[in-house]
Structure 1
Amino acid sequence: MTPTHLPGPVAIPSLPEQTRDTPGTTAPLQHFNTIPADEIRRTLLTCLHSHRWATRIAAHRPYPDVDSLLAASDEAAYDLTAGDQAEALAGETLPALPADTYGAAHMALGAAHAAYENRFGHVFVICLDGVAPEESLDRVLEGIRSRLANDPEEERVVTAEELRRLAKERLMTLLRGAGNGATSHNGTAPGR
């Protein structure tokens, strides 16, 4: 059975491969700090689809450590305007569900997302950092259902926070690269 795509976009980030966090690893950050500005902006847009956010992160390079980069990411995400948030949401897409996902789950997720998009006028986003792959579908359904009870302003705030968390997780995945461990100054994985 091949993976099935659901109608309509839902931001469910692919779970990062497990990598070993190596204290003191600086090569990914050094690379991040030295990539040409246009290239790093394009790369950053894969973390959060906001030109303002990507430009701001790129403009403040070089970062002395991963914690500083993640703090800058958070600050730039907190400063997103409604238009920036709409731009970021418009760039989110729906990944394939695992092949062993039941058809009823596809229907439930499709119906929940349609209700959410109808109520709030934009895609549903949720960061699944730390959620086991086998629990992700349940977490998404639970998230949509609980957030449907939010009023539009409350949901705008929750959505902005989820976009911030997605950007941070994707940025960490970017820095981990091909088996490189990105760590904070104290040797732990930031954002964990």
Structure 2
Amino acid sequence: MPVQTRATPATAAPLERFNTAPAAEAAQTLLACLHSHAWTHRLVAHRPYPDLPALLAAADEAAYDLSPDDLTEALTAETRPALPEDTYAAAHTALSAAHAAYESRFGHVFVISLGDLSTNEALNHVLAAIRSRLNNDLDDERLVAAEELRHLARARLISTLRGAGNCATSH
């Protein structure tokens, strides 16, 4: 099915704008959510989506189908989430050390979807998760990281297509 390339008024719903945007623009939106060209191409090629749940289902399916190279591409583009300014110095030190150990062991940043956890809960959850996942072997951790990326991409898509802004802001 050909993708429409007409301009959509700014008052249109975010999903309608995504469905009718030029392919390159839609791809940029998606790449900010999950930096995988294969995932992005697949989602752009299957537009238009009738509703957000249909897009999310397609995004999940495409994320499950990422090749090892696609996963590496996506992981390489991820960055560490910023800590809130009022975080205790000890928490900064502990998290920095845990992140460094994780990155040294697995060769990419630690990715985790935090959902709606408060800042204090998130810090504890991240530290506990890094420490736990450091015990994974390389293959098991790639599976866990892929699942976390899928959750992050889903949350970022929801945020963007409900009009909340750029996907990249939702770590």
Compute the TM-score of the two structures, normalised by the length of structure 2.
0.86
Equivalent residues in 2 for 1:21-100, closer than 5 Å: 27-100=13-86
Equivalent residues in 2 for 1:110-129, closer than 5 Å: 110-129=96-115
Measure, in 2, the Cα distance between the counterparts of 1:167 and 1:111: 26
SS at match of 2:135: coil
Decide which structure has greater helix share: 2
- Which runs of no fewer than 5 residues in structure 1 stay unpaired? 1-25, 180-192
- Which runs of no fewer than 5 residues in structure 2 stay unpaired? 1-11, 166-171
Matched, 1:162 2:155: no
Equivalent residues in 2 for 1:130-149, closer than 5 Å: 130-149=116-135
Give the RMSD, CA atoms, in angstroms. Answer: 1.4
Which structure exhibits the higher relative contact order, with contacts defined as CA atoms closer than 8 Å and separated by 6 or more residues?
1
How much does 1:151 deviate?
A: 1.3
| Counterpart in the other structure of 1:184 | none
SS at match of 1:160: helix
1:139 maps to amino acid: H
Compute the TM-score of the two structures, normalised by the length of structure 1.
0.77
In the alignment, is the contact (CA less than 8 A) between 2:98 and 2:127 conserved in 1?
Answer: yes
How much does 1:137 deviate?
A: 1.1
Which 4+ residue blocks in structure 1 deviate beyond 4 angstroms? none
Measure, in 1, the Cα distance between the counterparts of 2:119 and 2:47: 34
Distance change (3 Å), C-alpha of 1:117 and 1:175: same
